[in-house]
Structures are given as C-alpha cells and as structure tokens.
Structure 1
C-alpha cells in the first residue's frame, strides 16, 4: 500500500503541472490582448515587439514604427476602442483569425510542437505622394531612421506599421533639393494615405531659391546702367530673355537721336528694398516662374551740351520683375518689367522686406566723343 502511494505522488504532480499549463494555455490569448492594452495605455511601445505580426514581411517592426503605432492609438481613442472591442469579441468567440479590423488576434504556430502561440496581426499601410510634377525626384524616410522607404511601381511608399509618423520628404528638381518634415497618419482600410506635396510651396519657402531670385533682380539693376551708358547695346544684359533683349533694342535708336545734345551721363545703382510679401515662385505649364517687387534707387546726373555743370536726374522707382528659370543657363532670367515712379517712402509700409545694399558701387559713365556730331 505504501508503495502504491509513493508511486501515486509523481502522477499527481504531473497532473497538477498539466492542469496549470492547460489553464495558462487557455488564458494565453487573453494575456496577449492584455499585454497589448497595457503597452498602449502605459505608452511603452517596446513591449509590443514580441506580440505583433505584420501582413507584409517587408514592413519594419522597430523602435520608430512601434512608437508611431502607440502614438496613434493614444491620440485616436475611437479607433483604439474599435480595435479593443474587436479583440474582445474574438476572445468570446474563440475565433483567432484575420478580421476586417486593423489588428486581429491570430494563431501563430506551436510552442514545443504542442501549445498554440497567439499574436496580434496588423494590417500595414502605404503613403502615396501626390501633387508633384514628373521632373520631381522624391525620397521619403521616417525621422530618426537611416534608410529611405521602399517605393513600389505604383508610387507607393511602404509598407508601414499603422501609426503617426514624422517623415522626412526630399524633393529634387531643376531648382534644387528641398527638405521638409511632415506628420503623416498611416491607417485605414484603403491601405494607402495621400501625402500632398506642393513643390511650388517648397521652392517659395526655400532660402536658397529666394536668394537666387533676388540676385537676378540685383544683377539686372546693375546691368541696366551698364546698358544705358554703353550706347544701349543689349549685349550688356546678362540675365534677360531674348524677348526682353528684342524690345530693349529699340532704345538704341532713341538714344542716337538725343545723344548729340549731351556731353556726359553718369549713373550709379544705389540698391533696392525688396517686398518679400510680394515674392511669388511657382511652376506653370512645366516652367518655373517668379515675380517680385522692389523699390530701386539710382543716383544719376547728366551734362547737357554747351551748358555748365550737371543736372541731377536721380530717381527711385517701384519695379515689378517677372522672371522665368532657364534650365540651360541654370539661372533666373528677367522676362518682363513694370515700374512706376516712387518717392522712396513706399517701402515704409512693407512689413516683410530685405535691403539689397550696393555700397561703393561703380559710377558708370557715357561721354560723347568730340567728333560725334550730326548737328548743322
């Protein structure tokens, strides 16, 4: 009898162990769901790494994607509640397969070849970049990661674990390379979220592009007095379109008429004040255009023939420059001009402005040759 009792002890122990294991196994699905909710509620994304699966193995489950995932769920209570309700329904029905929700409780193989393992399977999403032209080359990456997101033939970036992402957008085109940080929520049954990008807005905000436009304005203002003091030869314009060159060529004939009455002309470009609120850079019909307004100042004087001293012909003008970007020369060209006489106070009302100083600028001179005379 004692021997039978001694032999029965191991059987009881084994039975107890089996019972405990079975209870734990039955509770395993619930434990996975509880672990999920705890990680989200306590904002501890790292605790999700071992209990998540993705429907596309190309999607990364790493620190940044898990953080984005938890951030989204905490910021979107309704979506989070729908997911929890769906998981609870799966537990009640003991149905562990993919549902129509973003997250499903599923079976994930066997542990020790005996016990079923459970995980949360997540539907991944993609980012669709829209609003760009054909020439724009785009790369997209998640902030604080080294690698760019993969791009499919359908121009989709991903796949990504659902979540709220800080992404780095890089757009490269004729004007340069533009960087922008954006916040994107990757979610929804459509499996793709549109990221609208305005390349004109990127160019407009870019300090380098702005400086190139202002530099073109400044170059023209300098070239203008070189043109005027060199017999109105259009070759002295270095950044105008052929159309502008053709129009200004007619000024040479007017100058030929009145130069006989002038002994000398002196011109000096003093600088300009640019109204940055009027600066506009945009793409139209696959062509980059810019428009900007400036208050421009010149210090000029002229000596009329057979009269003593110089007459002051200095002036200020409000000049609106219309430009287009020339891909061949890789610079902005003046395509049109409009100007009105100014008294110099106009820029006082401009809130956002910058001054283009032309300190120690050269004085350009035109002098009539002694043998030049058509007067009788």
Structure 2
C-alpha cells in the first residue's frame, strides 16, 4: 500500500500523480525504493570477540539470578522451620544439632548434647506441633514487622509466645539475605545429696562431686530435654547408687533434683558381749576390718534388708560365727545363739540332761548327773527327797525334744556367759503311788532351760529348768530318741492295784472333763450323770457351774494326774489327783493354775460310779 509523501493521501496502484496534491508519484516511488534498499542492505558481520563478550554477559546474568534464587531458598526462615520439624519427627540428632543455635557461650550444641532434647519430643510428639506452630507464629510476626531492625524485643510482647526454641533474626548472610537462627533456651539444675564425696553425673557425664554432707550445687547450662541423673558413692561396705530420669523443659527456671542416697549409719548392739572379746564384722560375707565390740557404728549401708551382716568372735568355748542377719534398721542386735555350732552344743547338752535327770529321780541319786551345775544338782536332790516323802513313784520314757531355734539367746551377764532356750519335751510316763499300777501316757511339757558356761570344765551346764507357756515359731529342730529307755523308781515298794481302782481312776478323769464341758456350755445336764444325787457333790457342782456361768468364766482342763485311788469301804473310794486348769475371764484375761484335789467316789447299787463328795482342793 502506497501513500503520498507530501500530503499522506493513499495512492492507487499505478497512479502517476497524487489525486490530492498533484505530486509526481514516480519521483516518490523512486525515493521509497531507494529507502527500502537502504533498509534491507546487508549488515556488517559481528566480530568473534564481541560475540563472546555478549554471551558471557548473558550467562553471568543467568547465573547470578539463579544463585540469588538458590541463596534465597536456602536462607528462607520457613524452610528452616520445616527442616527442624522433620528432624525432630525423625529423631535425627545430627540435623537437629546443625539447626539449633544458642547465645550462651557455655552451652555446647552437638549431636551428643541434643539427644535428651530429641528424646523428650519423641516421648511427647504432641508437643512438636506446639513448638513448630509457635515458630511459625514468630515467622509471621517478623514478616508483618519488617520495619523493625531487630527481633530481640519481639517476644516480650503479649501477642507472641516465647518458647523452648525461638526464631531470631541475626543480621545478613551472603550480603543479600536476612539471616535467621533457631535459638534454643538453656536450663539449669540444682542437685542435692547427703553424703560427702558423692559423684554426680548427668547423661553419663560427671558434673561434680559433693565436698560436704548435705551438699547442694547448681549446674548448667543444659539443653532442655530428658536426662538421666546419677549419684554414686563408693564406700568400704557398699556402692550406694541412685538413678533418676528427669525432665528439664521449663526454660527460665531452675529445677531442683533430690539425689539423697538411701544409706544409714548402723550400730551393732554388742551389749550382750564381754567387752574384752575380740570380734570381726562381716558385710555380705566380706571382712570389713572393724571390731564391732570397740567400734559398733559403721556406714553408710543400705537398710532395706538387701545387705546382711554377721559377727565372728573368739569366745571361751571357741570361735563362733553368727548366722547372717539382714540389715533392716539402724540398729542390729547380735545374738551369739544364732550360731549353728553353738546350737548343736546347747541342744545336745539339754538332751543329755533330760535323760540324766530321769535317772536321778528314779535311782534316788544325782551322782551320775554330769550336765548340771551344783545348784541344779541340789534342786534335783530336793525333788527326790520330796518324792520319797510323798511316796510318789515314776515310770516313763524320754521320747525327745523340739527346740525353738529363734529362742536360743547367749549373752554375758557381767560374770559369766549364759544361754537360754525354749523347748517342747515329750514323754511316755506315769506318776503313781504305793499299790498302783502305772499306766504310761504321752505327755508334752513346755520348758525353758538356762545354761551357764563353766570355764573350768570347758562346757555348758544346765543351771535351771522352768515351765513355760510355749513358743510361737515354726523355726524348730527336733531331736528324738530312736530307742527310748524306760526309767522306773527303784527306791520304793510299788504294788499293783486291782482293776476296780483303775476303773475308778478312769471314771474320775471322765468326770473332770465333763465338768469343764458343762461349765463352758452353761449346761449342768452334761455333768449330772456323773454325780451322786444324794451326795454333797451334786448341789455343790450345780451351784459352782451356775456361779461361773454368771461371771462369764470358762475353763480348760490342761492336765489331770490320778495320784491315788484308796479304798475306804466296800462302796466308797477316795481319789487324789493333780489338776491343771486354764481359767478364761470375760475381760479377755486368763490364768493357769494347779490344784491337788481329793474326792469321794461311790459305787451305786447297779455297780456304776458316781461322784459323792469333794473332800479338799488345794492350790499348788
């Protein structure tokens, strides 16, 4: 399409002149062609050097732009928060250590020191979200407050929370970018312990040593997290240890940790010892080189029963080592009786004495007694004289003795060594009078024996033998006779009685038990068949039963021994017995007492027996 050069009017194809202004079109066309030719004339070739410069500039622009974008990516604060979140979720201590910073030069951040931090968030995964959300809120806050030169004062404001880890703006990096760090807050701990020289450690690293009793010291800084705290004290007796897992997550505050060791000073009670005796103390089988007779207090040790002690002492009868005793309190009493060798010696001596005593009572002589003191021999002779005076005879067998092991106690009384033990002794025996036939019955007797050590004879001797109420322990030892010997009084003229006397003796025993049953059941009819309704005994028995019932007193017949059945006439017999009762009162108390009872028994017209009269009853 052509236009007039002069007036700009459109020209038709092939026109020689402009229809508007008359300008010669040929001249115009020639000029246009020349201009076109000038425009499309070939350009001059660019030099190789110029091309290289242009290409270098272009590449540099591209590289710089790319580098800027890469730097922008790697320094982006939100990306740093995302990487931190991922490292926490994965438990990657290496990455967490790389991402965390601190402004405290004493707080060292490494893969090792961040372990407790990572462990805490593993154990509390819900708190990871809380931590990350807070960092994201801080990031948003920073974006909305770009006019502020520093973020150091951001987190004191009411609308933004200061957390365990905080996002901080820290100058420029690589000249162009804002630098952001994840700054962790430090924590401190105060540790207290009770013994000097106790070693303290956190996360397996020793941090201090107590330089006095009741020690307390503040340690830190530490990263927030979960830590194992340990206190350890090595003594001559035991290594005391205490371990605790503690959580240090409350930044800005000091955590108090009690690492008191559970050990105590313990005193060995040696009051029962001769103070001149040399002794050695053993803890868990180890000789700790302490003479408890001179230095009875030692420690610290555990008093929870896990540790045991025993004492070895050189005594007049030889070296004695006690059984091990659990340390369960701050005072441990030593009982030399808890030595197996000594137990065997004492027990065998009691067995020997028990047989020698029967030999003396039945022979009328204490000459063969080798296991008793002179005092005890005198007691035996007095008993023999009493039996001879009463014309009481004995026939029986010693069957054995059950020893209460825990009751065996040995101590020094200031002049000599004494031992005491409770026993249950068993016999087949009978006591009888002139003209009676002894009927052996099994009899068990609770006794307590006292022995003294005779240094001249180098042996333990029986000093006393008394009755006891028995022992309450299952820790016993039985020593029984395999072939019991029979002992019978040889100094009297014992005669065999008739069958009638034996029948009457058995009847009286039955009556005595029926009497107790009637009292305890508050039912007189139980004993009524045994009574002569025309005799004095009938009303006396009825009144006595009613009296005890009114008072709330019950009875237990512990033992009855028929001592004599004496014929008075063809229908009347006099029966003497020794009776032992236990009386139980309504207030819960009880009393054991013995009586010598003399009663009359009548033979009824049908040949049966009946209690007729109580002649006498004397408390023994």
TM-score, normalisation: structure 1: 0.57
Any stretches of 5+ residues in structure 1 without a counterpart?
228-233, 245-264, 281-288, 321-339, 345-363, 370-376
Match of 1:183 in 2: 245
Identify the match of residue 142 of structure 1 among 196, 202, 209: 202
Match of 1:51 in 2: 99
CA 1:113 to 1:311, structure 2 compared with 1: closer, same or farther past 3 Å? farther
Q: Does 1:35 align with 2:88?
A: no
CA 1:83 to 1:292, structure 2 compared with 1: closer, same or farther past 3 Å? farther
Deviation at 1:82, TM superposition (A): 2.2
Secondary structure of residue in 2 paired with 1:367: coil
Task: Report if the CA contact (8 A) 2:187-2:222 is conserved.
Answer: yes
Deviation at 1:61, TM superposition (A): 1.9
Equivalents in 2 of 1:10, 1:243: separation in Å? 93
Which runs of structure 2 are paired with 1:1-376 in the superposition (5 Å)? 6=54, 9-10=58-59, 12-13=61-62, 16-17=65-66, 19-21=68-70, 23-24=72-73, 28-94=76-142, 97=152, 99=155, 100-130=162-192, 132-133=193-194, 135-145=195-205, 147-148=206-207, 155-171=217-233, 178-199=240-261, 201=262, 203=263, 224=273, 227=274, 234-236=275-277, 238-240=291-293, 269=320, 271-272=322-323, 274-275=325-326, 279-280=328-329, 289-291=330-332, 296-297=338-339, 298-299=342-343, 300=345, 308-311=369-372, 316-317=405-406, 366-367=455-456
Deviates more, 1:12-21 or 1:302-311: 302-311
Equivalents in 1 of 2:95, 2:113: separation in Å? 13
Deviation at 1:154, TM superposition (A): 7.3
Equivalents in 1 of 2:115, 2:60: separation in Å? 48
Task: Report if the CA contact (8 A) 1:266-1:365 is conserved.
Answer: no
Deviation at 1:273, TM superposition (A): 5.1
Equivalents in 2 of 1:80, 1:197: separation in Å? 30
Over residues 248-276 of structure 1, what are the superposed CA-to-partner deviations in whole Å (9 max), with x where a residue is unaligned?
xxxxxxxxxxxxxxxxx957746325356
Over residues 296-355 of structure 1, what are the superposed CA-to-partner deviations in whole Å (9 max), with x where a residue is unaligned?
2443558999873225999744699xxxxxxxxxxxxxxxxxxx96779xxxxxxxxxxx
CA 1:192 to 1:91, structure 2 compared with 1: closer, same or farther past 3 Å? same
Task: Report if the CA contact (8 A) 2:230-2:242 is conserved.
Answer: yes
Task: Report if the CA contact (8 A) 2:172-2:178 is conserved.
Answer: yes
Deviation at 1:292, TM superposition (A): 6.8
Deviation at 1:89, TM superposition (A): 0.4
Equivalents in 2 of 1:341, 1:368: separation in Å? 21
Equivalents in 2 of 1:129, 1:79: separation in Å? 27
Task: Report if the CA contact (8 A) 1:185-1:193 is conserved.
Answer: no
Over residues 48-75 of structure 1, what are the superposed CA-to-partner deviations in whole Å (9 max), with x where a residue is unaligned?
2222112422123233321111000111
Secondary structure of residue in 1 paired with 2:114: helix
Secondary structure of residue in 2 paired with 1:50: helix
Equivalents in 1 of 2:118, 2:408: separation in Å? 54
Any stretches of 5+ residues in structure 2 without a counterpart?
1-42, 144-150, 156-161, 279-290, 298-315, 354-365, 377-402, 410-419, 425-452, 459-620
Deviates more, 1:102-111 or 1:235-244: 235-244
How many equivalent pairs are there? 276
Equivalents in 2 of 1:149, 1:242: separation in Å? 32
Q: Which has the larger radius of gyration?
A: 2
Match of 1:336 in 2: none
CA 1:93 to 1:143, structure 2 compared with 1: closer, same or farther past 3 Å? closer
CA 1:186 to 1:293, structure 2 compared with 1: closer, same or farther past 3 Å? farther
CA 1:241 to 1:274, structure 2 compared with 1: closer, same or farther past 3 Å? same
Secondary structure of residue in 2 paired with 1:136: coil
CA 1:18 to 1:190, structure 2 compared with 1: closer, same or farther past 3 Å? closer
